[in-house]
Amino acid sequence: MATRLEGHTFRRFDGELARLHTEILQMADLVYDQIQMALESFQQQKLDIIRVVNEREPQVDAMEKSIDNTITEILAKRCPVARDLRVIMAFSKLVTDLERLGDEAAKIAYITTTLYNNEHSNPSNYLLRDITVMGKFACALLKEAIENLDILDLERAEKLLNSHDDLDEEFQSSLRRLATYVLEDARNVGHIINIVLVMKSLIRIGEHARNLAEYVVYMVSGEDIRHAEIEQT
């Protein structure tokens, strides 16, 4: 069930919340775009796209600042409570995750340039295969999380959080595979380090996506399920 943010007797509050929500969604879309482009360039050696990614990075930071500003204003003027307060607190936290996601995109872009702009030969396709698989998983997770930011559906967030962690599993097997490649040909070490770094980024992207889902759960139900596993033990 989607969650409604509007319905305040004082309608301007509705407008302000809607504006904040839109800004968040715009930023999420931009970040998603950045990650996709960075991955694409990494896989297909499109260095011109890297430039775009790097150029748009400050834009993400600017959006973060703008959103923080909007949130401060709303807090000052509306003194939100209950769901409004949770939504705004979650937005305020979630914008940090979005900014980190942007950073991951920039990181991937940087690795891409170092990977292709050196005297060594380009990595062979079988080295990049795992990235492709993991990239797909990460992007799917992020896409789902971002889509849910729009409709703020508790059940979807729940489903996402309870879903099987394909990304992690893939990472484990990739590591094993890459280790064998290193043994086969030690010259691959340079490439493989870069590839592992990108994989790590993808893992983090997956984690941020889960964080987004956790914030949605918090917004809608008020339940703070972050670090739930630590509390359970």
- Minimum CB–partner distance for residue 156 and another protein (Å): 12
- How far is it, in rounded angstroms, from Cα 89 to Cα 224? 12
222 near another protein, judged by CB under 8 A: yes
Among 29, 61, 73, 165, binds another protein (CB under 8 A): 165
Residues 83-122 that bind another protein (CB under 8 A): 83-86
Pick 64 or 214: Cβ nearer another protein:
214
Pick 49 or 149: Cβ nearer another protein:
149
First CA to last CA distance, the chain: 31
210 near another protein, judged by CB under 8 A: yes
Pick 55 or 79: Cβ nearer another protein:
79
- Helices then strands (H, E): number in the chain? 8, 0
- How far is it, in rounded angstroms, from Cα 233 to Cα 230? 5
Contact between 31 and 102 under an 8 Å Cβ cutoff? The reply is: yes
Pick 11 or 51: Cβ nearer another protein:
11
- Minimum CB–partner distance for residue 232 and another protein (Å): 8
Pick 53 or 181: Cβ nearer another protein:
181
127 near another protein, judged by CB under 8 A: no
DSSP percent split of the chain into helix, strand, coil, nearest 5: 85, 0, 15
- Minimum CB–partner distance for residue 230 and another protein (Å): 9
Burial per residue of 187-215, b for 16 or more beta-carbon CB atoms within 10 angstroms, e otherwise:
ebeebbebbbbbbebbbbbbbbbbbbbbb
Burial per residue of 96-134, b for 16 or more beta-carbon CB atoms within 10 angstroms, e otherwise:
ebbbbbbbbbbbbbbbbeebbeeeeeebeeebbebbebb
The site string for another protein over 57-86 (x = CB under 8 A, - otherwise) reads ----------------------xxxxxxxx
The site string for another protein over 170-199 (x = CB under 8 A, - otherwise) reads -xx--xx--x--xx----------------
Contact between 111 and 42 under an 8 Å Cβ cutoff? The reply is: yes
Q: Which positions touch another protein (CB under 8 A)? A: 7-10, 13, 79-86, 154, 158, 161-162, 164-165, 168-169, 171-172, 175-176, 179, 182-183, 203, 210, 217, 221-223, 225, 228-229, 232
